[in-house]
């Protein structure tokens, strides 16, 4: 279980954040040189050098979105221009990609960051560039929402690249694309000029995610969904009968088992639900939520899911906040009481996944802020302080020597991440038995995004980081 430092404050991390941004600048420049436009998207490092890994091009937005985050934190204009240039040059195909579930990763990280910086007043965004970014965000939200499958109860979900039977937990974070498109006044039109409301689709998807790939330790009557119904457990995937829309079973692609928790998938839910709660607060009217049972009901479902996964993460993570890649990974049985000590990325049995920590820490901080928001009575369980302390403790660990890469010859930023352990894609260095010492695009990006969040927390007059910007 994580040993959170209750005294830790965001300002205590400012020196470490400065060191991080210095290393980040070097890494961004190196990757832009080694993976220029026209080359395959970098996914993870092997021996410190970024390389592609065929599946889908879901990481290119992280590569070029990183430049916007670097500018956001440091004000270095060269990174703003790099982000603008590369987004214009290479990101357009991602806007109309009908075969994937990750528009939020590619397009909110690029077009969305550009638009957000303009809304925050951090850059002068000319009208033509604002129009270009807003058109991109409208398109990506509608295209993502078109990948839709109805369930037996008449609601639906954005299905994964596996096909219409598949709901991925990852996709909760791509709901940002639908949310932004709705905020900009857009909708999805299809056969017979029928119109789909993008906000409605994002909410239905989130509710089905909460219902089918997150467990709660039994229902109100104590009835368990399966023999492994532990509160906060998550599955990577839910499978549905495509003939009648009925839920069939949990599944996994990147985790060890449908009945254990793949920790990066859990982390996507840890950040995905809180940021949608932020969006509901700032951008959605009570009237828009009536069709889903009203604001109280939607917030209840989202918050119940968020708190369940956050609590499970804290209870099943080593003391320094860095998880092993899956809570059911079989090698953990050989590691004794692994939860009572810091994670060991160099052990002989199972790899850690620092990228899950970077994603999850942001979720903990966002959920803490939502729970103790001014004029809101939400923190009935007293979780806000606990989540904030844990999020900052994880951040401190990630910014330390064990995880932050400061080697100028290594193209990565955040060490000890894994991509697809079951497929054996991750590099195992000579003399080691499990993957370690390598970085990945989403880990690097989300460490940067976490650093932006914490940096703003440390400055009392800063605007909180929100994907939709100030409204």
pLDDT band at 471 (very low <50, low <70, confident <90, very high): confident
pLDDT band at 56 (very low <50, low <70, confident <90, very high): confident
More confident residue, 460 or 30: 30
pLDDT above 80 (res 117): yes
- Give the pLDDT score at 63: 98
The model's confidence at residue 211, banded by pLDDT at 50, 70 and 90, is very high
Mean pLDDT of 202-214: 99
Q: Residue 460: what pLDDT?
A: 84
pLDDT of 220-233, one tens digit each?
A: 888 999 999 999 99
Question: Residues of the chain with pLDDT > 90: what percent?
Answer: 95
Q: How do residues 164-191 score in pLDDT, each as one tens digit?
A: 999 999 999 999 999 999 999 999 999 9
Predicted confidence at residue 305, as pLDDT, reads: 99
pLDDT single digits (tens) 416-455: 999 999 999 999 999 999 999 999 999 999 999 999 999 9
Assign a CATH topology to domain 10-457: Glycosyltransferase (1.50.10)
**Residues in contact with 245: Cβ distance below 8 Å, sequence separation at least 6, in sequence order:** 149, 150, 151, 152, 153
* Mean pLDDT across 111-122: 98
The residues spanned by each domain of the chain are 10-457
| pLDDT at res. 44 | 97
Residue 74 CA neighbour count, 13 Å, CB half: 21
**Is 80 exceeded by the pLDDT of residue 26?**
yes
Instruction: Quote the pLDDT of residue 77.
Output: 99
What is the average pLDDT across 132-150?
99
At residue 270, the pLDDT reads 99
pLDDT for residue 373 is more than 90: no
Output the pLDDT for position 377.
Answer: 80
How high is the pLDDT of residue 53? 87
- Average model confidence (pLDDT) for the chain? 97
């Amino acid at each position: 279980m994580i040993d959170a430092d209750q005294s830790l404050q965001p300002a205590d991390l400012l020196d470490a954040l400065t060191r991080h941004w210095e290393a980040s600048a070097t890494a961004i420049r190196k990757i832009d040189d080694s993976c220029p436009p026209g080359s395959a998207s970098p996914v993870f490092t092997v021996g410190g050098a970024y390389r592609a890994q065929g599946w889908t091009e879901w990481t290119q937005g992280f590569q070029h979105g990183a430049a916007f985050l670097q500018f956001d934190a440091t004000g270095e204009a060269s990174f703003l221009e790099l982000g603008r240039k590369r987004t214009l040059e290479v990101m357009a195909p991602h806007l109309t990609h009908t075969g994937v579930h990750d528009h939020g990763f590619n397009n909110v990280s690029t077009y969305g960051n550009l638009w957000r910086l303009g809304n925050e007043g951090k850059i002068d965004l000319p009208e033509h560039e604002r129009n270009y970014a807003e058109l991109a965000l409208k398109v990506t939200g509608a295209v993502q929402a078109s990948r839709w499958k109805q369930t037996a109860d008449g609601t639906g979900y954005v299905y994964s690249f596996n096909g219409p039977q598949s709901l991925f937990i990852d996709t909760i974070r791509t709901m940002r694309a639908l949310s932004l498109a709705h905020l900009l006044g857009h909708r999805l039109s299809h056969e017979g000029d029928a119109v789909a409301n993008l906000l409605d689709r994002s909410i239905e998807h989130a509710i089905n995610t909460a219902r089918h790939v997150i467990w709660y330790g039994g229902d109100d009557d104590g009835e368990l969904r399966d023999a492994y119904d532990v509160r906060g457990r998550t599955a990577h995937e839910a499978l549905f009968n495509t003939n009648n829309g009925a839920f069939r079973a949990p599944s996994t692609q990147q985790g060890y088992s449908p009945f254990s928790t793949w920790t990066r998938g859990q982390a996507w839910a840890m950040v995905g639900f809180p940021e949608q709660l932020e969006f509901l607060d700032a951008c959605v009217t009570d009237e828009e939520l009536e069709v889903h049972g009203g604001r109280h009901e939607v917030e209840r479902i989202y918050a119940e899911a968020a708190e369940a996964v956050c609590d499970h993460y804290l209870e099943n993570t080593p003391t320094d906040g860095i998880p092993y890649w899956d809570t059911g990974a079989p090698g953990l049985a050989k590691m004794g009481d692994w939860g009572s000590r810091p994670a060991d990325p160099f052990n002989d049995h199972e790899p850690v996944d620092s990228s899950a920590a970077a994603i999850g820490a942001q979720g903990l901080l966002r959920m803490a802020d939502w729970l103790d928001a001014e004029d809101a009575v939400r923190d009935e369980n007293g979780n806000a302080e606990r989540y904030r302390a844990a999020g900052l403790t994880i951040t401190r660990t990630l910014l330390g020597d064990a995880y932050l890469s400061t080697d100028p010859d290594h193209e990565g930023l955040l060490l000890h991440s894994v991509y697809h352990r079951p497929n054996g894609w991750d590099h195992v260095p000579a003399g080691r038995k499990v993957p370690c010492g390598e970085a990945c695009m989403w880990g690097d990006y989300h460490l940067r995004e976490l650093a932006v969040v914490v940096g703003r927390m440390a400055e009392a007059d800063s605007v909180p980081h929100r994907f939709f910007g100030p409204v």
